[in-house]
């Protein structure tokens, strides 16, 4: 594979640095309090350089949320030989590892707190983050249905059920109890049970897929931290 030109590599690295800096600034200052000056300083760049990458705070915020979305959806790009069950398990943990991060939980709290005064913030967050993840989930589940592995009539409801079953309860606890977030073992308890419930409700071969899920979980326990 041909390496990217050095200039392009530098641009990609710089953009990643900007998005990481934006994550920190938005999480600590809130949307209304965050400034492009602060992001530029955190990223170690000049403000004019920052504007070469993102034309406005709104564009930067949307790009930041899109990056988090892409992190989660990469789980659905597993090798073709990976089973649906393995892909769902990988997505569930990619989702958990993203939305349960302390900085993203902090950002979510600030967005919730400011959505009443600045409804466009909540709309931007919803459109560039959760809505796009949901669309990706719907596409994936529809593909599995068309392949004869799942059965449902409404892809949106199926995706919302998957989303809610795997992490709704622990994330809600983490949002409102920041000093006492659920342990990873507790997150795993909800996530694994949620996947079992989803497969029992939507899988064409529920018993076989639940049995496979148990094997996937057992195989993962030797490599995934459980604390």
pLDDT, tens digit (0-9, with 9 covering 90-100), for 158-188: 999 998 999 888 998 888 888 888 899 999 9
Fold of 68-220: Tetracycline Repressor; domain 2 (1.10.357)
Q: What is the reported pLDDT for 44?
A: 94
Selected from 1.10.3720.10, 3.10.20.30, 1.10.10.60, 1.10.599.10, the CATH number assigned to the domain covering 1-55 reads: 1.10.10.60
User: Of 8-17, 34-43, 102-111, which range is least confident?
Assistant: 102-111
Q: Minimum mean pLDDT among 9-13, 57-61, 124-128, 179-183: which range?
A: 124-128
Q: Which residues contact 199 (CB under 8 A, 6 or more apart)?
A: 85, 88, 206, 209, 210, 213
Rounded Cα gap, residues 115 and 187, in angstroms: 27
Please name the helix (run of DSSP H) or strand (run of DSSP E) that holds residue 157, with its range, or none. Answer: helix 155-176
Considering the entire predicted model, what is its pTM?
0.72
Taking residues 192-200, report their average pLDDT: 97
């Amino acid at each position: 594979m041909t390496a990217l030109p050095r200039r392009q590599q530098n641009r990609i690295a710089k953009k990643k640095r900007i998005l990481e800096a934006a994550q920190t600034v938005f999480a600590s200052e809130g949307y209304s309090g965050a400034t492009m000056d602060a992001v530029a300083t955190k990223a170690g760049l000049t403000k004019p350089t920052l504007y070469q990458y993102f034309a406005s705070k709104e564009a930067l915020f949307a790009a930041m949320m899109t990056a988090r979305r892409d992190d989660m959806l990469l789980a659905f790009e597993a090798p073709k030989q990976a089973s649906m069950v393995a892909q769902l398990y990988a997505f569930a943990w990619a989702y958990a590892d993203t939305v349960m991060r302390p900085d993203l939980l902090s950002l979510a709290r600030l967005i919730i707190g400011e959505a009443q005064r600045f409804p466009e913030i909540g709309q931007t967050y919803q459109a560039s983050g959760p809505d796009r993840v949901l669309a990706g989930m719907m596409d994936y589940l529809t593909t599995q249905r068309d392949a004869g592995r799942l059965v449902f009539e409404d892809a949106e409801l199926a995706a919302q059920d998957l989303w809610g079953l795997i992490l709704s309860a622990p994330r809600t606890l983490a949002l409102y109890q920041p000093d006492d977030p659920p342990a990873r073992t507790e997150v795993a308890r909800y996530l694994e049970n949620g996947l079992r419930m989803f497969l029992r409700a939507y899988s064409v071969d529920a018993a076989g897929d639940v049995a496979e899920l148990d094997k996937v979980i057992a195989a993962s326990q030797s490599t995934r931290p459980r604390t």
